[in-house]
Amino acid sequence: MNKIISFYVPLGISSLIAALTHVIVNAVLARSEHPSFTLSSYAVAVSLCLLLETPLTAVRQMTTKFGYDLQSVRSIGILCACVAAAVLVIGWSIGLTPAGNLVFHYVFGVSPALIEPTKSVFQVLTLLYILVAVRNIYQGLIINKHRTAWMTFSSSIRIIAMLVAAWFLIRAGWTNDGRIGAAIFIAGIFIELVVTFLEGRVLKRKLPPDNGEQTIHRASHLLPFYLPLLYSALVLVVLNPSIQAALNNTTDPLLAVASFSVALQILNLFVWFCSSLHQIVIQFYTSKRREVLIFLSVLSALSPLLLLLLSFEFAGDPILRNVLGLEGELLVETRGLLRILSIYVAFYPWVEYFIGQSILIGNTKPIFIGRLFSVSFAILALILCISFFPGLDGQVAGIVMAVSSPVELGIYLWLYRKISLNTMNVSS
């Protein structure tokens, strides 16, 4: 159990540390002469940037599954380079051509006065794709060797460098351009990449040339594993805009959006910490099955308990009232949302468990199917709630998230039972 804890806690902490990135950037841009202008241009540009980054998120999972020899790592690198190049071309097409005007105006609803500043911020952010592609490969190698303390170290160095840059820019008065925020973000990712690369390169040199039958000789052999992960990530992207659209159609949209935004920030602290639980399954399930299940059970019980405590006055007010400054209806609505979302966070570790199982056996189709059904169910539930219960306000989003999580888990259970039965029939 100690080995699992020492492996995972640095991963969870690194995710929490990395979450401070946009807080630092927003703190700089909020000190501009026209903060709403600079913050809006940065927020829209970074939203599109992270959306286009989605195809690169599966690179780390690919490396943790297959990156045990030099030939396989080369194949992963080739596929990653092709994906990064494709994303970069799309990014440049948006950032450097009139097509970007149409995307930002009609898809994101950016006003004409903000389109050019938003495009200029996005042009800087397109550099992110190359950096993230390389970083994710070496992070996968580090995870495979259980050197996850390097993940915390690299994230910490990234945030420290960003804080120093933010302090200097604020002192110098260079805060009136959204591109400054993009530059801080890119600089932080680059520094994290350098630290990750230094350790990952050492680990890569120790890999054998091949791994027998498990060696991936061609990048195309990775596609059956990679594509379902890509599709599942793209499907998940649809959910947040759908929730925002639903909240804007409630009885009190301002209260609904504000309360859900605050509750989501708190929920994300738990989600980010648990977002790498599938790595425990990949690395330890075959050798330490009992310990893995115990660890997941503890997190599954502890996370909703802490979230519930925050929803009560005696435990949550020091944060909700004193730190976040919530009062009146917003405070009451946020408390109610936290209680509902505790159901979601209770199921989340087990969703990650089945994602890890899927990656471990090399069959990622169940991840896509589960996500597709879960998101489809959530959108249908949003439509029904808004049609019949618009007075629920922000609780609409909480209820939908709380219900869709066990639905996704149930689909995974059904799919894995089906896979197990098929395996038993083949072996018999």
Q: Are residues 404 and 416 in the same domain?
A: yes
Q: Which amino acid is at 352?
A: E
Lookup: tokens for 124: 């800087």
Q: Are residues 242 and 154 in the same domain?
A: no
Q: Are residues 144 and 15 in the same domain?
A: yes
- 250-274 b/e (C-beta count within 10 Å ≥ 16 → b): bebbebbbbbbebbbebbebbbbbb
Q: Are residues 293 and 305 in the same domain?
A: yes
Q: Are residues 355 and 375 in the same domain?
A: yes
Q: Are residues 160 and 224 in the same domain?
A: no
- Domain end among 217, 233, 252: 217
Q: Are residues 385 and 240 in the same domain?
A: yes
Q: Are residues 49 and 155 in the same domain?
A: yes
How far is Cα 344 from Cα 340, in angstroms, rounded to an integer? 8
Q: Which amino acid is at 346?
A: A
- Domain end among 217, 239, 271: 217
Q: Are residues 175 and 296 in the same domain?
A: no
How far is Cα 180 from Cα 125, in angstroms, rounded to an integer? 11
Neighbours of 355 (CB within 10 A): 25
- Domain end among 190, 217, 244: 217
Q: How far is CA 137 from CA 20, 202, 252, in A?
A: 23, 13, 45
How far is Cα 81 from Cα 71, in angstroms, rounded to an integer? 15
Residues 291, 295, 296: CA angle, nearest 5 degrees: 120
133 closest CA partner among 77, 61, 71, 178:
77
**Secondary structure element (H or E) that encloses residue 352, with its range:** helix 328-361
How far is Cα 239 from Cα 75, in angstroms, rounded to an integer? 32
Q: What is the DSSP letter of 105?
A: I
347 closest CA partner among 293, 410, 294:
410
Lookup: tokens for 37: 């202008």
Q: Are residues 224 and 204 in the same domain?
A: no
Q: Are residues 292 and 320 in the same domain?
A: yes
Domain that residue 187 falls in: 1-217
Neighbours of 135 (CB within 10 A): 24
153 closest CA partner among 144, 145, 163, 142:
142
Quote the pTM value.
Answer: 0.85
Sequential pLDDT tens for the chain (428 residues):
788 888 888 888 888 887 778 778 888 887 888 877 888 888 888 888 888 888 888 888 888 888 888 999 999 999 999 999 999 999 999 999 998 898 888 877 788 888 898 899 999 999 999 999 999 999 999 998 888 899 899 999 999 999 999 888 888 888 888 888 899 999 999 999 999 999 999 999 988 888 776 778 888 889 999 999 888 888 887 887 788 778 878 888 878 878 887 888 888 888 888 888 888 998 888 888 899 999 999 999 999 999 999 888 888 888 888 777 778 888 888 888 899 999 999 999 999 999 898 888 888 888 899 889 999 999 999 899 888 888 888 888 889 888 888 898 999 888 888 776 665 444 44
Q: Are residues 235 and 205 in the same domain?
A: no
* Domain total in the chain: 2
Maximum distance among all alpha carbons in the chain?
73
